Amino acid sequence: MRGSRYDHILASTALALILAAPFGGVARDLDVVAGEPATKLAAVPMAAENAQTAGPAPAVAPAPASVPAAAPAHEPQAAPAGTADPAAGMEQTATPDPLASLSPADRAVAEKIRDLLATRSEKIFSNKKERAAAEAFYQNRNLKPLWLDEGVENPSAKSAIARLKHADADGLDPSEYKTPDFAVLAPDSLAEAELKLTQTVLTYARHVQAGRFPYTRVSRNMELPQAPPDPAEILRSIADTPDAGKALDAFSPQHEPYQKLKAALAELRSRPGVAKGEVARQIDMVLANMERWRWYPRDLGSAHVLVNQPDFTLKVMHNGAQVWTTRIVIGKPSMPTPLLSETMKYLTINPTWHVPPSIVRNEYLPALAQDPTVLSRMGLRVSYHGGDVEITQPPGDGNALGRIRFSFPNRFLVYQHDTPDKHMFADEVRAYSHGCMRVQDPAKYAEVLLKIARPGEHWTAERIKSMFGSNEQDIQLQQAQIWVHLTYQTAFVDSAGKLQTRRDVYNLDSRTLAAIKRERGVIEPAQDRKEEQVASSSSGTRKVVRTSRNGSPFQSMFYDTPSYAPAYAPTSGRPFPPRVIYR
């Protein structure tokens, strides 16, 4: 009798406990009381937003007719082997809310940002790299808005928008950089405005640093870095500074030639009659030159050679100051000197001229067929290697390269050199060569470079001239990192602060301005462009080098080598003859 009554009391107590338990824990308590494993039901916490919209809890199932007796309180019942503790299960499966740290206003916008990135990311960010960077950026900050605080436009947004509206200060068109309206109140509209401003900022930074289109839309006679900024770095720099406008301005070229043109542009626009006449023409020239400067390295180098083709000059810069300048001859319009940035590797005293295959094929072989002695009378040597013909000119006063060659190896195979034809430097317009640059005072040029590259060796022009003779000698410069920038500046500001303009000898200004008006496109990183060129060059086909078909067959002898021709390597592939090398 006592046992039956005791069982009845225990069953009644168990039922009371079941009815008193919270709805969320009913199933768990039933399992414990019934002696069944607690792992049959997984406890998954509900997010706060889901709990508010969830329907009513299901009715509690009736207690079983008979409930096994519970163990006495002073004899704790051991849990079955392998049974997980219910509380521990809840801790393991609990998912932290990434938006929990946000204020209600920012959270509402963040949720909409999450939805937009999931459904409309490709439409908002058409650039694949910028889209990936934006998604990672917002994910890393738990979707917290960059341009909003408590649902209101913040100082960073105001600063960035002000900079975008004055994009014309850098020669860009403000109408290309649409700014959103943050006056709207709905979270979905604010989220869309947030992402659109991010996209606009990424586009602006790319345009102001690397240009609005690939330079190949203007000419393929170029090899320049044109490096767009890393989208992740753009967003990081803006997020880390209180002045987003200042951070954006830092992406524009910071070197002196560009900054001087920027100041000149502002001054020109302040003049009366901007819309027409000479002022308008000068503004267009400045805009074209500012665009081209974006294709060059952001850092021109502490030591660099700056060639300005339309000015027909060369300047050596060291530690921010001009240390020397001279006149040069550049390629004629039909064989223009390319634009490029490379490092000076070495100079050669008493160079041998290896006549390019194009000149051999198109000019010298026909002349040789007419007169077998004509080339020897000109001081040229003809040698045959299997089916190949090699024509060279040994070192000497009459050598087409003069006494010194300055080498910065590049895919166009152009270089700078001396010349026996000094009279050309008296002309105002000096576009006569096949693409290489002739230097008016090569011995002094060599002295200036060697003093930078090898300062402890006391090089002078006189010492270099004393080396003139018949033996070819190389002097290495590559340790110095002297950059050579072949530029096309039809507009520049001189040392006196005056805007100078020059003739558009290669018609690059008109093509650049036309591209500014109609061209936009993805700029591939320099490494990708080089890989494409390597793949193209290894395909087994090579373009025929351009040659001059005007004048006598011997004209190329006096107007050096054409662009793209292997001007200082034997055509047979044999190594250079032995020479002295200064390392």
Question: Distance between CA atoms of 155 and 148, rounded to whole angstroms?
Answer: 9
Q: What is the mean pLDDT of residues 201-217?
A: 97
Q: How far is CA 543 from CA 17, 220, 546, 563, 565, in A?
A: 91, 13, 9, 12, 10
Could you tell me if 31 and 64 lie in one domain?
A: yes
What is the domain range of residue 30?
2-93
Regarding whether 115 and 230 lie in a shared domain, the answer is yes
Residue in the structure block whose two tokens are 């530029």: 487
Q: Are residues 173 and 83 in the same domain?
A: no
- Structure confidence at residue 54 as a pLDDT band (50, 70, 90): very low
Q: Which two tokens stand for residue 403?
A: 């006494």
Closest by Cα among 241, 177, 242 to 205 = 177
- Mean pLDDT is lowest, of 13-17, 182-186, 400-404, 542-546, for 542-546
**Greater confidence, 153 or 19?**
153
Q: Cα separations (Å) of 424 from 2, 420, 551?
A: 128, 10, 17
In a domain, 441, yes or no: no
Residues 6+ apart with CB under 8 A from 455: none
180-203 mean pLDDT? 95
Regarding whether 86 and 152 lie in a shared domain, the answer is no
* Alpha-carbon gap, residue 449 to 460, rounded angstroms: 10
- Kindly state the average pLDDT of the residues 500-523: 93
**For the segment 513-543, what is each residue's pLDDT rounded down to a tens digit?**
999 999 887 786 665 555 544 443 333 333 3
* pLDDT bracket for residue 14 (50, 70, 90): very low
306: in domain = no
Q: Is the same domain home to 14 and 74?
A: yes
Say whether pLDDT at 23 is over 50. Answer: no
**Domain co-membership, 208 together with 175:** yes
Over range 448-477, report the average pLDDT. 96
Coil vs helix vs strand at 340: strand
Within this chain, do residues 138 and 27 fall inside the same structural domain, yes or no? Answer: no
Q: Are residues 170 and 112 in the same domain?
A: yes
Pick 567 or 442 by higher pLDDT: 442
Domain contains 31? yes
* Residue 78 within a domain: yes
Determine contact, residues 156/248, Cβ cutoff 8 Å.
no
Question: Would 526 be classed as within a structural domain?
Answer: no
Query: Which two tokens mark 370?
Result: 């007419």
> Do residue 43 and residue 71 come from a single domain?
yes
Sign of the dihedral through C-alpha 429, 433, 434, 439: negative
- 445 lies in a domain? no
The 8-class DSSP code of residue 435 comes to B
Quick check: is 534 in a domain?
A: no
Asked whether residue 325 carries a pLDDT value surpassing 80, the answer given is yes
Residues 78 and 113 in one domain: no
CA atoms of 184 and 192, how far apart (whole Å): 11
Task: Please give the Cα distance from 50 to 360 (Å, whole number).
Answer: 82
**Phi, psi of 334, rounded to the nearest 5 degrees:** -75, -15
Task: Tell me which of 93, 112, 137 is where a domain ends.
Answer: 93
Q: Which of 317, 284, 274 is nearest to 501 (CA)?
A: 284
- Domain membership of residue 68 (yes or no) is yes
User: What is the rounded average pLDDT for all residues in the chain?
Assistant: 81
Token pair belonging to 132: 């990936």
CA geometry: angle 186, 191, 192, nearest 5 deg: 100
The answer to whether residues 168 and 217 belong to one domain is yes
Range in 1-15, 32-46, 141-155 with the lowest mean pLDDT? 32-46
Indicate whether 58 and 159 sit together in one domain. no
Domain total in the chain: 2
Give the end of a domain, one of 25, 59, 93. 93
Note the pLDDT of residue 356. 77
Rounded mean pLDDT of 60-72?
Answer: 42
E-state strands within 313-440: 313-318, 321-331, 339-343, 346-349, 353-354, 381-385, 388-393, 404-407, 416-417, 431-433, 437-439
Domain boundary among 221, 237, 252: 252
What is the per-residue pLDDT for 83? Answer: 52
